Amino acid sequence: MMETPQSDSPRPAPPEPEPSGPLRAGPLPSAPMPSAPVPSGPVHAQVSAPPADSAPVVAFRNVSIAFDGPPVLQDISFSIMPGETRILLGPAGVGKSVLLKLINGLLRPDQGSIELFGEEITTLSEEQLFPLRTRTGMVFQEGALFDSLSVRDNVAYQLIQERVPEDEIDRRVHEALTFVELDQTFNLFPDSLSGGMRRRVAIARALIRQPELILYDSPTGGLDPITSTTIIELIIKERDVYHSPSILVTHRLQDAFALSTHVFSTEHNCMLPLPNGESDPRTTYLMLEEGRLIFDGSLHELLHTDNKFVREFLL
Amino acid sequence: MAIEAIDRTAKNIVLTVQEYSLFAYRAVMNLFHPPRYWTDFLMQCNIIGVGSTPIVLLSGFFTGGVLALQSQATLAQFGASAVTGRFVSLTMIRELGPVLTGIMVAGRNASSMASELGSMVVTEQIDAMRALGVDPMRKLVTPRLFACISMLFFLTTLADAFGIMGGGFVTVVMNHQNGTQYLSQAWEHLHYADIIQGLVKPLVSGFIIASVGCFYGMRTTGGTEGVGRSTIDAVVFSSVIIIAADFLLTQVLLTLFPPI
């Protein structure tokens, strides 16, 4: 794992202690989405590190991008391995969302190479990118729901374009909405939903085709703590039930740490803290400062780094 | 400093023209390769065609009426008020029908296209569409372009017909002239060249309205203020380009089909 320039400034205070009891945002459905392996059992980090020889789902090599001014991202290199959850930290305006949009080709870098599912995407045309993008799911900052379409049509957007039969669309939309606990919104329109509900519908839309990679762009930004916990619980549930690799952009440390220190229990149907200060080894961290990647490592490495900026950020 | 500003403005204009040309080219070429979104095409035909019908009929009717009023006063000085029908029908079909319909639809639909697409851009709905594997150019722009071209054709014929009716109403009811004479004048002096001229123009106007409206919508930046700016630009530029294109097109068509 990459470490950043050393600093001899004092060690930062550790993050706020996690609550000892179960955090839950409400009853979760027992019926899982189809064809997904559902683990069961008590609270443990049911994890296994990806095989050392497995190919990365995403690989950035020396990527830089600028928009009519100084570079937004400079010389960024990192990868996302199968089953891995990467959390991208950094202050507002540092280029986190830009990095996320580079992953599925919504933006093109000025320099460097980006591999998605083993394919170099910087040389692909927009037409060639569409099939690759359908293999990813993306949750946008404000949800980005189509406000002229109902919740059903929003969630089913890809299925409708693929001309899936209506009965199957309805069944799969109900399953996806049940996963995010919003089945009652099936016929509603986005403007009648709260901010948190819109994010959860956006998660359902991103998950309906069971993507091979999920990109979360500040899914809890601007939400109250209770709603944020609900969203984080859904993300942990998705991670622990479907094991999809993902990258999550956030500047909220409590959300970032909850992803490492909690696991979803299908038995209790909620997320629970890992015992004895354990953390999920598949959940690792990246940090950006002024367009440069200054940290890439585990929670333990994050908490014990000597990098001055990281330590100030954690405070 | 002044030269730098001129240089920057000139480069921006050239860049915008280049981007618009590529945008319009892609929007047209999408029709020749699947996927094609026929449902969206029909929905846009309804919004543009059916939605614009009342304002086009009203503006056509009153334009024809005012033409009859104005021309009658002038033609009467030469003892030629009998040719009011000819004057109204030729003016409506060759010039005012296509141009006025184009400007009315530009005000209504270029603005709605720019604001709708612009709002989708600033709320990341366009990015979401791309992330879901759907090409916004195919899904949003191409159906609007071809719906606008086809609907403007029919709207212009309606505006022409209602303009002639408006002229007839004024001629008969207000100017107390013979209605049969008006209609025969309007009909007998009409040639195919006039019809062709009047029906080629709306095709070009429809292309201008949708391509300019969608272009400014899709390049919106700067949040809700940017949406307002895009909407203004779309209406202003589409209206001006329609009038400029009408001038050029009239010159070309008069060369191809000289007046008889």
Nearest by CB to B133, which of A131, A144, A147? A131
**Is B128 in Cβ contact with A138 (below 8 Å)?**
yes
**Is B133 in Cβ contact with A130 (below 8 Å)?**
yes
Distance from CA of A23 to the nearest CA of B (A): 31
Nearest CA in chain B to A157: B132
* Model ipTM value: 0.82
Judge contact between A245 and A235, C-beta under 8 A. no
Region A177-183: what's the mean pLDDT? 90
Nearest CA in chain A to B116: A148
Residue A224 reports pLDDT greater than 90: no
Q: Calculate the alpha carbon distances from A129 to A125, A250, A260, B148 in Å.
A: 6, 26, 32, 29
pLDDT in tens, A53-94: 588 999 999 999 999 889 999 999 999 999 999 999 998 889
Chain A positions in Cβ-Cβ contact with residue B35 (cut-off 8 Å): 161
Nearest by CB to B133, which of A133, A142, A144? A133
Q: Per DSSP, what are the bridge partners of residue A113?
A: A61
Nearest to B60 by CA among B109, B90, B98, B87: B98
Over pLDDT 70: what percentage of chain B?
A: 100
**Unique residue bearing structure tokens 């999408």:** B30
**Is B124 in Cβ contact with A130 (below 8 Å)?**
no
Residue A14 reports pLDDT greater than 70: no
CATH of the domain at A303: 3.40.50.300
Cα–Cα distance between A231 and A249 in angstroms, integer? 13
Cα–Cα distance between B181 and B172 in angstroms, integer? 10
Cα–Cα distance between A131 and A65 in angstroms, integer? 24
Distance from CA of B210 to the nearest CA of A (A): 20
- Hey, of B124, B126, B137, which one would you mutate to test binding to chain A, going by the most A CBs within 10 A of its CB? B124
Cα–Cα distance between B216 and B205 in angstroms, integer? 16
pLDDT of B77 reads 85
Nearest by CB to B128, which of A130, A134, A144? A144
pLDDT in tens, B99-119: 999 999 999 999 999 999 999
Nearest to A199 by CA among A234, A225, A168: A234
Provide the 10 A C-beta neighbour count for residue A17: 10
Distance from CA of B57 to the nearest CA of A (A): 29
Assess if residue A76 is contained within a domain: yes
- What is the residue type of B162? F
Q: At what angle do helices B2-29 and B142-169 cross, to 10 degrees?
A: 90
Q: Per DSSP, what are the bridge partners of residue A85?
A: A246, A283
Q: What is the pTM for the complete model shown?
A: 0.84
Region A202-226: what's the mean pLDDT? 91
Task: Say whether A67 sits in a helix, a strand or coil.
Answer: coil
Burial class (CB in 10 A: 0-12, 13-18, 19+), A299: buried
Judge contact between A204 and A27, C-beta under 8 A. no
Please state the three-class secondary structure of chain B as a single string.
Answer: CHHHHHHHHHHHHHHHHHHHHHHHHHHHHHHHCCCCCHHHHHHHHHHHHHHHHHHHHHHHHHHHHHHHHHHHHHHHHCCCHHHHHHHHHHHHHHHHHHHHHHHHHHHHHHHHHHHHHHHHHHCCHHHHHHHCCCCHHHHHHHHHHHHHHHHHHHHHHHHHHHHHHHHHHHHHHHCCCCHHHHHHHHHHCCCHHHHHHHHHHHHHHHHHHHHHHHHHHHCCCCHHHHHHHHHHHHHHHHHHHHHHHHHHHHHHHHHHCCCC
Provide the 10 A C-beta neighbour count for residue A119: 13
- Hey, of A116, A124, A158, A161, which one would you mutate to test binding to chain B, going by the most B CBs within 10 A of its CB? A161
Chain B positions in Cβ-Cβ contact with residue A147 (cut-off 8 Å): 123, 125
Cα–Cα distance between B146 and B209 in angstroms, integer? 11
pLDDT in tens, A15-51: 443 433 433 333 333 334 433 333 444 444 444 444 5
**Is A140 in Cβ contact with B128 (below 8 Å)?**
yes
Over pLDDT 90: what percentage of chain A?
A: 58
Judge contact between B129 and B136, C-beta under 8 A. yes
Contacts for B250 with CB less than 8 Å, ≥ 6 apart: B94, B95, B197
Domain count, chain A: 1
pLDDT of A44 reads 45
pLDDT in tens, A154-164: 999 999 998 99
Judge contact between A273 and A45, C-beta under 8 A. no
Give the domain extent around A90. 58-135+211-314
Judge contact between A44 and A263, C-beta under 8 A. yes
Assess if residue A88 is contained within a domain: yes
Distance from CA of A296 to the nearest CA of B (A): 26
**Is B132 in Cβ contact with A157 (below 8 Å)?**
yes
Judge contact between A155 and A209, C-beta under 8 A. no
pLDDT of A53 reads 55
Chain B positions in Cβ-Cβ contact with residue A205 (cut-off 8 Å): 132
Lowest mean pLDDT among A5-9, A112-116, B5-9, B229-233: A5-9
Provide the 10 A C-beta neighbour count for residue A275: 12
Nearest by CB to B124, which of A126, A136, A141? A141
